[in-house]
Amino acid sequence: MRVRNFFFGSAPEGPLHAIRHAEARDMEAVARLFRAVRLACLPYLPDLHTPEEDTCFFRDRVFAECKVLLAEAETVDGFIAFRDGWIDHLYVRPQCQRGGIGKRLLTRATESGSPLRLWVFQRNTAAIAFYQSQGFRELERTDGSSNEEREPDMLMEWRA
């Protein structure tokens, strides 16, 4: 299953967000944030899973296979999940958009200098522009027939 990435930053006038490693106790908050961002910011995507299925996915796959970092002020307002060679998720709460949370999380993921790839929906032009501004380049476009949502997507890569 391909995992799509979404960039949404943090409002400049908002609170300062600490970046920290996620713990098991954070899993439900991360799953809820994932669902909230998709529903609010990507309305063209089908709602294929229940909140309970999202929670199981984050428990069994994301938290088990990825390093997960959180951006947190009073609540979890953003997260990135990445593993060797891949960024699987980058989400930030809609009301915290465009103030640097996504960039800070992405910077932490690229610290090792190892190449990273990600999939992003072609309609998510804000994410594509963000990733390009951070040095990602397009590798491939697909018609979406290989992803769960059946939505055209793009493979992008970052190299130091």
- Domain with 153 in it: what CATH number? 3.40.630.30
What are 54-83's pLDDT values in tens digits?
Answer: 999 999 999 999 999 999 988 999 999 999
- Total domains in the chain come to 1
Q: Does residue 145 register a pLDDT over 80?
A: yes
Q: What's the Rg (C-alpha) of the chain?
A: 14
Residue 5 lies in a domain: no
Shortest CA distance to 67 belongs to which of 10, 126, 26, 15? 26
Residue 91 lies in a domain: yes
Residue 2 lies in a domain: no
Residue 84 lies in a domain: yes
* pLDDT confidence of residue 54: 96
Range of the domain at 89: 18-158
| Entry pTM | 0.88
Q: Does residue 34 register a pLDDT over 50?
A: yes
Residue 120 lies in a domain: yes
Shortest CA distance to 6 belongs to which of 105, 83, 76, 74? 105
Q: Does residue 10 register a pLDDT over 90?
A: no
Residue 22 lies in a domain: yes
Residue 8 lies in a domain: no
What are 117-135's pLDDT values in tens digits?
Answer: 999 999 999 999 999 999 9
Q: Work out the pLDDT band at 138, boundaries 50, 70, 90.
A: very high
Q: Does residue 14 register a pLDDT over 80?
A: no
Residue 46 CA to residue 33 CA, distance in Å, equals: 17
Shortest CA distance to 94 belongs to which of 47, 37, 42? 37
Residue 97 lies in a domain: yes
